[in-house]
Amino acid sequence: MTDLAIIGGTGLNKLEGINIIKRRVVRTPFGEPSGPLTYGEYNGREIVFLPRHGTGHTIPPHKINYRANIWTLKDIGIKQVISIAAVGGINPHLPPARLAVPDQIIDYTWGRENTFYEGGAGKVIHIDFSYPYNENLRQRIITAAKSAGIGIFEGGTYGATQGPRLETAAEIDRMETDGCDMVGMTGMPEAALAREMELAYATCAVVANHAAGRGNSKEEISMKNIELYLHQGMQQVRTILIKILSD
């Protein structure tokens, strides 16, 4: 039985190169996860894959049932979750198609179901979230990238925005002043829910575009370019995942 799950983001709805063993439709007390759990195998190691936006990429960031996704992974015995996430690059060292393993988060989202601890009959619980990502898992991603010869930005602050629209240039300026290196729409509450469930969680981010008002996004953000860069970045993510499974 595996203890490793991958939550795939935009550009990674399935895992090529990994043999599919079975698919399971599941339900949780919080409703349905984004899609069926896909059990795969590579080199004798089992892995579970869950596409964050649904199999056909139909669920926008603010409608994802983050609680059901994390709950179901915990429920089947997962201990470690690698999240793959497309981001916009704010830091000039994060141009399109570059990979990053963030070590901090600033949460700008609102109105999302962001805890399993709703009070009521249960206790009031405040998890420690000083360091939102699991350091061992971050290092595993970094080591795998390095040994595959893939350049990766080792750290950075992930700013989680509400979406589904992209940001204004002024919002990105403010996020940079706040200390954000990259911007995405799905990092929260996913990371916090994983911590509540005591899952080791880390993100491998793929820069899909310069954030609004930066680089070649100065005039506008081109969807065509996003697809192109994501495709390039996700090829590298696949190589890293296969490397992790081979170790």
Q: Of 238, 173, 237, whose CA–CA distance to 205 is shortest?
A: 237
State both tokens at 192.
């916090």
Alpha-carbon gap, residue 203 to 193, rounded angstroms: 14
Q: Which is nearer to ligand HPA, 160 or 197 (CB)?
A: 160
**Look-up: residue for tokens 């696949």?**
238
CB of 10 to ligand HPA, least distance (A): 7
Binding residues for ligand HPA (CB under 6 A): 86-88, 161, 166-167, 183-185, 208-209, 211
State both tokens at 99.
């990979």
Q: Which is nearer to ligand HPA, 18 or 172 (CB)?
A: 172
Alpha-carbon gap, residue 27 to 71, rounded angstroms: 10
H or E element, residue 232: helix 223-246
Q: Which is nearer to ligand HPA, 18 or 226 (CB)?
A: 226
Q: Which is nearer to ligand HPA, 109 or 209 (CB)?
A: 209
Residue number of the CB atom closest to ligand HPA: 88
Angle at alpha carbon of residue 226, lines to 149 and 41, rounded to 5°: 50
Q: Which is nearer to ligand HPA, 132 or 184 (CB)?
A: 184
Indicate the DSSP class of residue 124. Answer: P
Q: Which is nearer to ligand HPA, 40 or 88 (CB)?
A: 88
CB of 63 to ligand HPA, least distance (A): 15
Alpha-carbon gap, residue 24 to 8, rounded angstroms: 16
Q: Which is nearer to ligand HPA, 2 or 225 (CB)?
A: 225
Q: Are 7 and 69 within 8 A, CB to CB?
A: yes
Alpha-carbon gap, residue 100 to 202, rounded angstroms: 11
H or E element, residue 192: helix 187-196
Name the 3-class secondary structure at 143.
helix
* Exposed/middle/buried for residue 95 (C-beta within 10 Å: 0-12, 13-18, 19+): middle
